[in-house]
Amino acid sequence: MNIYLLIIPFVGTVIALLLGFFVLAKKVSLPINQVFALFCFETSFWQFCWFFSYFLNSHTEKDLIVRIAFSVIVFIPFTYYHFALIFLDLSPRQNYVFIAYLYGVIFFVLTWNSNLFIAGYRDFWWGYYPKVGTIFPLYLFGVFSFMARGIFLIFKKLRNKAIGGNEHTKMKYIAITLFLYFFATIEYAIDYGIPLYPIGAFFMIGVWSIMAYAITKHEVMDISVIINRASAWIMTIFFFGSIYISLFGLHQALIGANAPWAITLWTIPYGILVGETFQRVRLFIQTTGERKFIKGHYNSDILIKNLTEKLIPAVTISDATKLLRDTLKEALEIDNACIYISESKKDGVPQAYSPIETDNHPKIESSHPFIHQISPIPIFLKTLPTKTKEAIKDFECLTKGEILIPLFSSDHLEAFIIIGKKASENSYDQRDITLLETIMNHMLVIFDRIRPYEEVKEKFETTERKLMESEKMLNRSARLASLGTLTAGVTHEIRNPLAVIRLGINKLPAEPRDIEYLKAFKEKYMKHVERIANIVDKMLHLSKEKERTEMGVDLNKLIEDYLIEFIPTSGKVTIVKDLKPIPQIIGIADDLHQVLTNFADNAIHAMPDGGTLTIKTYSTTEDHAQKVVVEISDTGMGIPKAIQEKIFDPFFSTRHEGTGLGLSISHKIIEAHRGKIELNSEEGKGTTFKIIFPSA
C-alpha cells in the first residue's frame, strides 16, 4: 500500500469534519447551520470510507465499504441543494427539497437491495471505487437536475439589483462553490470504469477552502470568529509540539537512547514553560488573526467601552464628534469620513451645518432637502430619493459616502457623520448597523450632557465679547480724555510764555534800543523760549518709545553717584540714606537716574523751609518672587488726598514754575521696567514714594 495515497482522503475527512463542527458550535438551532453541517458530515463520511478502503483486502469487505459509502453519498448533492435554498432565503417546500431527499432515499434502498444501482466495485492502481448498475443514469439525472436548478436560482437572485453589499458577495462565493461541486461529479465517470484518479476530492477541498475563506472574510454564516479561535488553538498546539519534537530530535542526536532519564530533565521544565505561556501565545495568534485576516473585525462591547472612556473629558459637541469619527475609522477601517456640526442657532434651532475645521467641505443650510431626509436611523446614501441625490451632487463628501450617521440630542439634529467605504472593500452589514444605532443612542446622552455646558459657554463668550468691546470703548474714551488733558496742559503751559514773548516783541519797536537793552531783552525772553523747548522735550520723552538696551543695574551705586551731584544743591535739606544689600535689576541706568532726580527734586520743593530727605533700599518677597524696593521720603507739607490720584497725570503740578511732566515721565519709565509705585502721604507730615522693581 502506498501511504501517500492516504493523504488526500485523510485531509478531506478532517477538513469536512472540523468545518461541520465549527458551524454547529456557532448556533445549532439555525437551519442553515444544521444543513451545512450535515453536508460537511456526509462529505467527511465519504472521504473516510475512501481512506478506510485502503486497509481492506477481501472481496466482501470491499463490496461492503462501497455500499456503506454510497448510502451517504447519494444524499450529498441534495443536501447541498437544500443549503443553497436556505442561504438564498427561498422556501425549501416550494423548491422541491422534499422530492430531492425522497429521490435520495429511493437510491439508498436500491444500494442495499439490488445490483441495479451499485453492482460491486472496481480495482484501480490507486484503490477501489464503486461499479454502477443499469439504473445509475436515473440517479445522475436527478443530481444534475437539482444542481442546475440551484445554479439557476443563485444567478436569478444575483441579477436582482435590490440585493447589494455583503449579501451579493456571499452569493458569489456560494455560486463558485456550487460550480466546483458540479465539476466534482466528474468522478461518476470512474464508476463506469474510466481509469481516472478521483480528482473530485480536489474540487471538494476547493469547495471547503472557499467556504472557509468566505466565512472568515465575508462572514458567511457568521462563524468567522469561531474558525479563527479554533485555528489559534491548533496553531498554538502545533507550535509547542514542533518545538518539543525538535528538542527530542536534538536530544537523540546528541545523547541518544542510552539515557532516557535525561529526557525528563528538560521535559518537565518545558512542560512548565508551556503551561505558563500557552494562553499568551494562543491569544496573540488569535488577536493577530482577527486584526489581520478577518478584515474589519471588532468587538462591539470593547469598542463602545473604549469610546465611552474617550468621551468622558469631551465638553463640546465638536470634540465628541471628532472622537467618534476617529474611533469608527479605526474600528471599521474606513477610508474617509467627514463631520457636519450645527451652527448659527436661532432660538436654539440650528440654521446650518458646517464641516469641522479639518474638513474642507461646503456648508449645508438647514432648509436643504437633504437635511429633511435625515431621521434618527443610519441612512445608506444610495437609497436616497433621486431628487435628493440631485440636490447634493455638488457635495463631494455626500456623493462619495456610504452611510450617514445622524447624531441627535433630545431637541434636534446636532451633527452627522458621513463615512465612506471600508478599506477591506467589505460592505456594511447588519452587525455594523446595530453598532451604529447603539452608538447613536449613546451619543444622544453625551450631547444632552454637553449641551448645557455649551449654552453657558456661549453666553459667557457673548458676555466676554461685550465686556471686551466696552473695555475698548473705555480705553478709547480714556485716551481721548488723556489727549484732552494733554492738549489743555500743553496749550496752557506754552500759551503763557508765548504771551510774554508776544507782548515783548510788540513793545520792541517803541522802546529805545541799545546794546544793553538788547542783551537784557535777550536774557529775559530766552528763558521763556527755553521753557517752551523744555516742555516739548518732555512731551517727546513721554510719548515716544525709544530703543531699550537693558542690562543689570545696581540701584545702590546709582543712588550713591546721584547723591554726590545732589548734596551740594540740597540747601537746608538733610540727606539720610539707608541702603541695604540688594540684587541688581534689569533696566536702563539713564532712565532710572531721571526717575531718582524727579522724585528727589519734588521732595526738596515740598520742604521750602528745610527738612529731611530719606532714601532707603531693601529687598522683599512678593507673590513668591524677589523684589527690590526704593523708598524716597520727605518731611514736607504732604499731598492732599483730593489730588493724590492726579499727580501722575501729564501737566498736573502744584508749583507755578513746574511743567507737571516729571512724575508722568517717571511713572512711564517705572512701568517700562515692570515696576510699580505706591504712595503714602499725610498733610503736614510728609510723603513717601515706594518704588518696587522685580529683581534680575
> Which parts of the chain register pLDDT below 50?
222-223
CB of 356 closer than 8 Å to CB of 318: yes
Which cell goes with 355? 464641516
DSSP 260: T
Per-residue pLDDT at 584: 92
Identify the three-state secondary structure at position 678. strand
pLDDT for 628: 94
User: Distance between CA 286 and CA 288 in Å, rounded?
Assistant: 5
Q: pTM for the complete prediction? A: 0.41
The dihedral over CA atoms of 646, 650, 652, 657, expressed in degrees to the nearest 10, equals 160
Report the alpha-carbon distance of residue 253 to residue 432 in Å, rounded: 56
Residue 492: per-residue pLDDT: 54
- Which is nearest to 615 in space by CA: 627, 624, 604? 604
Dist. CA 215–CA 170, nearest whole Å: 9
| Pair 213, 228: CB distance under 8 Å | no
Nearest to 339 by CA among 355, 327, 353: 355
What is the pairing mode between strands 611-622 and 573-579?
A: parallel
**Nearby residues of 222 by Cβ (< 8 Å), 6 or more positions away:** 26
- 617 membership: H or E segment, kind and range: strand 611-622
CA distance 622 to 640: 29
Find cell 526704593 and name the residue.
Answer: 630
Domain 3-222 falls in which CATH fold?
Rhopdopsin 7-helix transmembrane proteins (1.20.1070)
In the 8-state DSSP scheme, what is residue 376? S
Domain parsing of the chain, residue ranges:
3-222, 230-292, 300-458, 551-694
Q: What is the DSSP string of 452-464?
A: HHHHHHHHHHHHH
Q: How far apart are CA 655 and CA 607, in angstroms?
A: 13
- CATH code of the domain made up of 300-458: 3.30.450.40
| Model pLDDT, residue 105 | 92
Q: Say if residues 632 and 693 touch (Cβ distance below 8 Å).
A: no
Residues with Cβ within 8 Å of residue 403, at least 6 apart in sequence: 378, 379, 380, 381, 418, 419, 428, 436
Cell of 335: 477610508
- Looking at residue 491, its pLDDT comes to 60
> What are the start-end ranges of the E strands in 36-126?
118-124
Q: Please give the Cα distance from 596 to 591 (Å, whole number).
A: 9
Arithmetic mean of pLDDT over the chain: 78
Sole residue written with cell 450645527: 342
CATH architecture of 551-694: 2-Layer Sandwich (3.30)
| Alpha-carbon distance values, 416 to 65, 437, 451, 619 (Å) | 65, 13, 16, 62
Long-range own/partner contacts, residues 360-368 (CB < 8 A, 24 or more apart): 361/395, 361/396, 361/397, 362/394, 362/395, 364/340, 364/395
Using CA atoms, how far apart are residues 336 and 278, in angstroms rounded to an integer?
39
CB count within 10 Å of CB 397 equals 20
> How far is residue 29's CA from residue 228's CA, in Å, rounded to a whole number?
21
Alpha helices in 544-588, H assignment, sequence order: 555-566
E-strand ranges in 320-447 read 337-343, 352-355, 364-365, 379-380, 403-408, 413-419
